[in-house]
């Protein structure tokens, strides 16, 4: 299971990387929105933990572009903004869930499990055998 952590706050990014690695996930970190989009084009991620307030390209736009490029994994927004509008915006632009900072690591881990359970059934609905689908 591969996770991309997108967070410009380095101490939080490395704490999340350490914690998720310890749980057995393969973790990459991107420090801004542009880097996140590049990473997501290069590798397959099951879940992207996405800070909303990012340099270069903000999280809402990253979300929107990922979905436009048919990213099918889970997106969990991490945000310091507790405003309802940003959350609704993020969810409307393709995020699956959100956490308001500061959050407990155990809650993030639980939400990752929930999102991957949901993705699990629908990730590959088409079976192809010898050219037949």
Closer CB to Ca ion, 40 or 77, in the complex: 77
The CA distance from 22 to 55, in Å, is: 28
Closer CB to Ca ion, 38 or 123, in the complex: 38
Please report how close the Cβ of residue 3 comes to Ca ion at its closest, in angstroms: 18
The CA distance from 7 to 36, in Å, is: 9
CB 16 within 8 A of CB 108: yes
Please report how close the Cβ of residue 79 comes to Ca ion at its closest, in angstroms: 8
| Chain residue at closest Cβ approach to Ca ion | 53
Q: For residue 31, how many other CB atoms are within 10 A of its CB?
A: 18
Q: Of all helices (H) and strands (E), which one includes residue 45? A: none
Closer CB to Ca ion, 20 or 78, in the complex: 78
Q: Which residues bind Ca ion (CB under 5 A)?
A: 8, 51, 53
Please report how close the Cβ of residue 119 comes to Ca ion at its closest, in angstroms: 25
């Amino acid at each position: 299971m591969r996770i991309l952590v997108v967070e410009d706050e380095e101490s939080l990014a490395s704490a999340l990387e350490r914690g998720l690695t310890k749980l057995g996930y393969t973790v990459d970190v991107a420090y801004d929105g542009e880097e996140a989009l590049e990473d997501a084009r290069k590798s397959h991620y099951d879940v992207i933990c996405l800070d909303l307030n990012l340099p270069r390209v903000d999280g809402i736009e990253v979300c929107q572009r990922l979905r436009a490029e048919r990213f099918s994994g889970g997106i969990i927004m991490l945000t310091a903004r507790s405003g309802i509008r940003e959350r609704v915006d993020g969810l409307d632009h393709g995020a699956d869930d959100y956490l308001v900072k500061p959050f407990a690591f155990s809650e993030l881990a639980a939400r990752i499990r929930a999102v991957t359970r949901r993705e699990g059934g629908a990730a590959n609905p088409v079976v192809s055998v010898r050219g037949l689908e």
